[in-house]
Amino acid sequence: MRLRPPSARVPVSRPAALTRAAAAGPSAVVAAAGLAVGPSGPTVTLAGPAVTLAVLAALTGLLAAVLPRGLAPSGVLLLLVGEHLAATAELSPVARTAVAVPTAAALWLVHALYGLAAAVPLDAEVDRSVVRRWLVRQRGVLLVSVPTGVVAVLLTGAVPRAAVLPVVAVGAAAALLVLPLLLVRQADR
Amino acid sequence: MSLALTRGVSRAAGLAALLLVTAATTGRADLAVLAAPFVLGPALALTGGRPTVRAGLRLSAARAAEGSTVDALVTVVAGGADVDLAEVRLAARPGQAGVRPYLVALSAAEQRTVALPVAAPRWGRHTVGGVTVRPTGRGLGERGLAVTTPGAALTVLPQVQPFAAADHALPARLRAGNHRSRRPGPGVEPVAVRPYAAGDRLRQVDWRTTSRTGALHVRATTTDSATDVVVLLDTLSDAGPPGGTVLDTAVRAAAGIADHYLAFGDSVGLVQYGGRLRTLAARAGRGQLARAQEWLLDVRPPLNAMVAERSEPWSPTTRHTAALVVALTPLLDERTAVLLATLRRRGAMVVAVDVLPAGAVPPPGGSAEADLARRLWLLEREALQARLGELGVPVVPWGGAGSIDAVLAALVRVGAAPRAGVR
């Protein structure tokens, strides 16, 4: 009897450990760098309590990378928010809003990366479609929500409209371009 | 319907609420910008609906050989909601290697087939799976109910251990085959040139000798014959490490022996002695190999010592006693030795092949009592083998290709000799 030879599989996946490391590792780096450098510049914050905070954030980020299903990711996000509040306390409302845009993106990416790391079992193989879809989702969320947030702030009158008009214009254009990606069925097979 | 939110969604919603409350109480409008993704993200996840999937499992092949690989083909169909992550996990069963789970993403109503390579386990009838699929919805926000499929049947045929005996003329029944024999008759092997006798065919005439001598001469040939081979599997006792037990060795060796002799046109039959008596009637042809492999799948040792004690006796027929009996036995039970001696007395050519694996013999170096017991046991075993040898049943260890070749050659010589005294 002739038996079927061992099948040859096309490698379409990557080890989950790599995906988890890729997802959780940068989160720790972003958390530490965000606190160490800060939006005000390294010369201002890289001294005294800021260094302690950076070390604390790096440790928390590392813990979150190892245990993304625990409370550590929430701790990292709270540390980042606290750092943003401290670093922008002396800035004008316009400058704060401008700084808040990249900070919001970094915060969301850290959160989403930890979410992905938590959802992936350590011993799994990950299909490309999972990573591709995740990237599309995060891109869509950021490109729609951040400009929307800026518009909302603008509408409340807390920030002078003329100061953030370029941001609003760019954000609105990006949102218009990205919105179809969220509504139309994904075709990423 | 209750929600099964992931921790990520709860975290995002909590942080959004915290940021918005802080923004409202402190007048820091920039916090609203920070909160925006954490509002939209969970909203997007929750509007996607609860993910549902259907799953099915089939194998790329229902039969496989030991050591080969088959693909477990898992078909996953998403329901009405996007599934951003579906974890496909094949259940591990005892004796089977675990398979890593596979993660895949599907749009609503999309169907994907995932191939998970499964190493064929030990020979026998197995069930692969089932498969559990756990879906997580849009934005990794909501978990759906896991679905589990039943397992799929997989038949693993024993690995054919290489076996190559030289072409010995076994004591043959008068049947055409591929073994050279000493019996004169129609064949292709010339043995002599003799004067013509009435009944000789014209095409047998040796014209060169005829022209030289002036008298008609013909070429004499021997017949090509076949024989019956009965492979006896002693399943009274089993021992050895998993995957390399007495039974594993015996079954793989039986498959190799059957493959070899069936290729020569011989008839091969199988007998399981120990516990429930099972036999496979001797037949020739390649179809018999498939039947033998199928039959070997159901070889089992007795469930317990009591069943082994009450094993059904085997009464060999005349056909068995006229055959070459290859007994695959660990020689751990005297009943087997008695049976082999009986077969030999009735005229069968019997070879006992020792299939006790090296790992089953306890190594020296234990306590003094254990070492003494081990030595006594080995001496008893040697004595049993010597007694069998005196009765005309050679015992050889199984070593794959050619390991019993010398014994078969000796048996042919014995078989060709007059049988006076052997009853």
Mean of the per-residue pLDDT values of chain B:
83
Average pLDDT over residues B2-28: 87
At position B384, the amino acid (one-letter code) is: L
Q: How far apart are CA B377 and CA B250, in angstroms?
A: 22
Q: Provide mean pLDDT across the span A124-149.
A: 87
pLDDT over 90 percentage in chain B:
26
Contacts of B102 in chain A (CB under 8 A): 13, 124-125, 127
- Check if the beta carbon of residue B314 is closer than 8 Å to that of residue B339: yes
> What digits encode the pLDDT tens for the residues B126-169?
888 889 999 999 989 899 999 999 999 999 998 877 766 665 54
Q: Do B11 and A69 touch (CB under 8 A)?
A: no
Residues 6+ apart with CB under 8 A from A180: none
**How far from A39 is each of A33, A44, A51, A83, B23, CA to CA, in Å?**
10, 10, 15, 9, 19
∠ CA B333-B336-B342, rounded to 5°: 145
Phi, psi of B396, rounded to the nearest 5 degrees: -130, 145
Cα–Cα distance between A129 and B107 in angstroms, integer? 10
pLDDT digits (tens, 9 = 90+) for B31-48: 888 999 999 999 988 888
Average pLDDT, chain A: 70
Q: What is the pLDDT of residues B327-363, one digit of tens each?
A: 999 988 888 888 888 888 888 888 888 888 777 777 7
Chain A residues in contact with B61 by the CB 8 A cut-off are 4
Confirm or reject contact between B297 and chain A (CB < 8 A). no
pLDDT in tens, B235-268: 888 887 777 888 898 998 898 888 888 887 788 9
B196 touches chain A (CB under 8 A): no
Q: In chain A, which among 140-179 make CB contacts under 8 A with chain B?
A: 140-142, 144-146, 148-150, 152-153, 156, 158-159
A90 touches chain B (CB under 8 A): no
Nearest chain B alpha carbon to A126: B103
Please report the pLDDT score of residue B166 as a whole number: 61
User: Is B4 in the A-facing interface, judged by CB distances under 8 Å?
Assistant: no
**pTM of the entire predicted model:** 0.71
Which structure tokens are listed for B155?
A: 């038949």
Q: What is the pLDDT of residue B275?
A: 78
Nearest to B7 among A69, A108, A146 (CB): A69
Classify each residue of B270-285 as buried b or exposed e, where b means 16 or more C-beta atoms within 10 Å of its C-beta.
bbbbbbeebbbebebe
Question: pLDDT tens digits, residue range B288-321?
Answer: 999 999 999 988 887 776 666 666 667 777 666 7
DSSP run (H or E) holding B111: strand B111-119
Question: How much is the pLDDT for B182?
Answer: 61
Distance to chain B for A111, nearest Cα, Å: 7
Measured between beta carbons, the chain A residues lying within 8 angstroms of B68 are 3-6
pLDDT tens-digit series, residues B77-105: 999 899 999 999 998 876 666 788 999 99
- Position B119 pLDDT exceeds 50: yes
pLDDT reading at B200 higher than 70: yes
Q: Is this complex scored with an ipTM above 0.95?
A: no
- Share above pLDDT 70 across residues of chain B, in percent, rounded to a whole number: 82
| Chain-chain contact of A127 with B39 (C-beta, under 8 angstroms) | no
Residues 88-127, chain B: which have Cβ within 8 Å of A? 100-108, 110, 112, 114-115, 117
- pLDDT number for residue A53: 67
Among A41, A105, A134, A150, CA closest to B141: A134
